[in-house]
A and B are shown apart, each in its own frame.
Chain A
Amino acid sequence: MALESAGVADRGRSVRRSLLALAPILLLVTIVSAFLTTGGSLVGLLGSNPPQPDVFDVRRVELEPGKVRIKVTNPQTDDLTIASVTIDDAIVPFTVDGPETLGRLRSATIQVNYDWVEDEPLIVGVTSSTGIQTTHELAAAVETPSASPTSFLGYAIIGFLVGVVPVALGLAWLPSLRRAPKDWLAAFMALTAGLLTFLAVEALSEALELQRALPSPLGGTGLVVLALAAAYLGLTLLSRRFSPSGVPLAGLSLALLVAIGIGIHNLGEGLAIGSSFAFGELTLGTFLIVGFMIHNVTEGIGIAAPAAEGSAVSVGRLSALALIAGAPAIAGAWIGGFVASDLLGVVFFAAAAGAALQVVFEVVRYVRRTAPGGLSSPYVIGGFVAGLALMYVTGLLAG
């Protein structure tokens, strides 16, 4: 009896605690609704509100013979109406696959019958009912690959060539790395850290640059920070699962973490290649593919270096590592080719930066523990700088 009443009292306390936790939310709701009903008078105190920018977010422009399709989103609070469409500064008749007035974050696809000229620049303009024109430029008009089995295969081959193949080639250095003295192995680990740092900084600057092109309600550096932190912390959680005792990762588990980090990065790279190709922004020649391949071989070394320490690794596991690091390039190319938008680009690049930074952190922890002479050993410093330099030099090949 006494026990039971104690239980009831406990339950009563926990209900009270929950109610107490809800109080701020309830108060917020009350204040917000009070503001919404009388908020106009606040604006009156401050003067009039500036108008909304009425700029569309042109997410994608797709071309097929005789047709241009423009996918637009309304990024602002107020409704936005598609009133006029121009191509190369000429008004064109158009149809919309739904209502012409778009609510907040609503999208529509505008279709225009238009005899575009292959390989020449194309500027589409969408004008709101308030007369504000949003323009979007394609550097060279080429037919957008549609989602057919052939184009699917084509993107897969591109992703395979620039992702999986070079990583696998880089992994083939594993036997040589195994015979390397400890000093040199540390140098190669530092090289891994260097090249990942290079990738992280580059991906971050790319994400920041891309977000500037987004309409302000969608973009903002906040999105970059969010994606970066999510990737970084996600990988941190993962590394703790690999090593629950908190011992710094080493050997195959560190190699796996590096592979995952590089995989996330290659997803962004595949997206960039796929969408640039789809939108005629990239002449996809053998030269370019070769450039990317040479560049990405370095990523294979990065995975091989930690795997060189410890017990022998089976070919099956090595292939798995190559796929984990390289195959996301295929997925990225598909996404880029068929659905990409600048918004996705920002998220992918920021995530790539976060993942790469986390892996750098793990590698540095490992090197500090194992390198003869620690982090200030000339092998480590030389390896790190060499990693940065290697990325820079091979990056020139890929443009």
Chain B
Amino acid sequence: MAKPVSRRKLLLGAAPVVAAFPAAKAAWAMGGGQPMVHTAMHGHDHAALGHAAMMGDLVPAPGGPGALDALTYPRNALPHSPGRVREYTLAAFDRDLEVAKGVTFAAWTFNGTVPGPVIRATEDDLLRVKFVNGGSHPHTIHFHGIHPANMDGVFEIVDPGDSFTYEFPARPYGMHLYHCHSTPLKKHIYKGLYGAFIIDPPKPRKPAQELVMVMNGFDTDGDGENNFYTVNGLTFYFAKYPIRVSRSKTVRIYLANLTEFDLINSFHLHGEFFRYYPTGSTDHYEYTDTVMLCQGQRGIIEIDFTNTGTFMFHAHQSEFTELGWMGFFEVVD
């Protein structure tokens, strides 16, 4: 800041102006060194601040009770039966979605939601996914997992109005995902074309209260940064409608990160530890209360709650938490 600054620049950008006079700069530095915090504002005349204000009706969450049931509670796993055909139909179409309270996002969806529907099969099932492109751009479905090269959703571009049927044996067991692989890839993913893809092991997992959580973000103003973060597509939804679980039964979460723009996302649980199986394709697990996932990473969480009560879960990136990615478990006996 060697450049002399006009005294009339005062109205404008402030920090550079302050930096321009040494005396002011010293005062600035002193103020910054000992920040004074207002603390006396939790009185009755003020609305409560902090996370307590982010529960119940005060929460700025879109959607009504049950709005996320279809995406959160997966259908049951089926027993192992090699060669059984599992059929799904996914239709891509453009749809304006209310992703945060009062805020619409011009989404590209599979079957009208972001994330798309949960696809579930048991290992060695024959998956037959019919894809209909009802959108305005060419799309594909690229599944993670093991499959033939011509079923990879990279070269088989499906134009608007066309359809394509992906057919391959479901392998290997674990938590996977699917997403559009048309270019520009970033655009096709952040607009919403992705979802969870569960393959159950031949030997069934032990019974549990099963949940699917797809972590994502929404860049509503197209500046390459997310304005909102969610699990399963609605900001603060599980803060407004906590997930009720029973303490006596394991809680299993199929977790995936499909956040675009931000390199990582994370899941943190309050008041409890859990087993985290990366990708869920082996028995190897980590015992922790926080996991970090890169874009496209996923895994399975198993929680055995010790205590009843309300426990928060959220991204441990504080920014994501406060932009919508947080919720509560209501643990009951």
Tell me the A residues contacting B by CB distance below 8 Å: 65-67, 81, 83-84, 86, 89-91, 93, 100, 113-121, 127-133, 138-140, 202-203, 205-206, 209-210, 213, 268-269, 271-273, 275-276, 279-283, 285, 287-288, 291-292, 295, 342, 345, 349, 395-396, 398-399
Q: List 27 A-B contacts (CB under 8 A).
A: A66-B38, A83-B102, A84-B60, A91-B100, A91-B228, A91-B236, A91-B322, A93-B58, A113-B49, A116-B38, A117-B36, A117-B38, A119-B35, A127-B103, A128-B103, A133-B220, A133-B227, A272-B7, A276-B17, A282-B14, A282-B17, A283-B28, A288-B23, A292-B7, A349-B8, A399-B4, A399-B20
Asked, given contacts A66-B41, A133-B220, whether A395 binds B103 with beta carbons under 8 Å apart, the answer is: no
Given contacts A131-B104, A131-B105, contact A206 B8 (CB under 8 A): yes
Q: Which residues of B contact A129 (CB under 8 A)?
A: 102-104
User: Chain B residues with Cβ under 8 A from A84's Cβ?
Assistant: 60, 100-103, 228
Residues of B within 8 A of A396 (CB): 4
Q: Is B331 an interface residue (CB 8 A)?
A: no
Inside 8 A of A81's CB, which chain B residues have their CB?
Answer: 102
- Which residues 4-27 of B have a CB within 8 angstroms of A? 4-15, 17-18, 20-21, 23-24, 27
A160 → B minimal CB distance (Å): 18
Q: Which of B200-219 contact A (CB under 8 A)?
A: 218
Closest Cβ of chain B to A269, distance in Å, is 7
Interface of chain A: mostly helix, strand, loop or mixed: mixed
> Nearest chain B CB to A87's CB is how many angstroms away?
9
**Distance A132 CA – B37 CA, assembled complex (angstroms):** 31
Which A residue sits closest to B323, measured CB to CB?
A: A91
B31 beta carbon closer than 8 Å to chain A: yes
Q: Answer whether A283 and B18 are a contact pair too, CB < 8 Å, given A113-B41, A115-B49, A131-B103.
A: yes
What CA separation (Å) do A81 and B104 show in the bound complex? 11
- CB pair B60–A399 under 8 Å, yes or no, is no
Residues of A within 8 A of B228 (CB): 84, 91
A66 CA to B38 CA, complexed, in Å: 7
A275 touches B11 (CB 8 A): yes
Instruction: Given the known inter-chain contacts A84-B100, A273-B10, A281-B14, please indicate yes or no for A93 contacting B60, CB distance below 8 A.
Output: yes
From known contacts A93-B60, A116-B38, A272-B10, infer whether A395 and B102 are also in contact, taking CB-CB under 8 Å: no
Knowing A119-B31, A129-B103, A342-B11 are in contact, say whether A89-B220 is a contact too (CB < 8 A): no
Q: Kindly list the 9 A-B residue pairs having the minimum CB-CB distance in the complex, ordered from nearest.
A: A131-B220, A139-B14, A66-B41, A90-B322, A83-B102, A281-B14, A119-B31, A276-B10, A283-B24
Task: Identify A399's interface contact among B12, B21, B27, B53, CB under 8 A.
Answer: B21
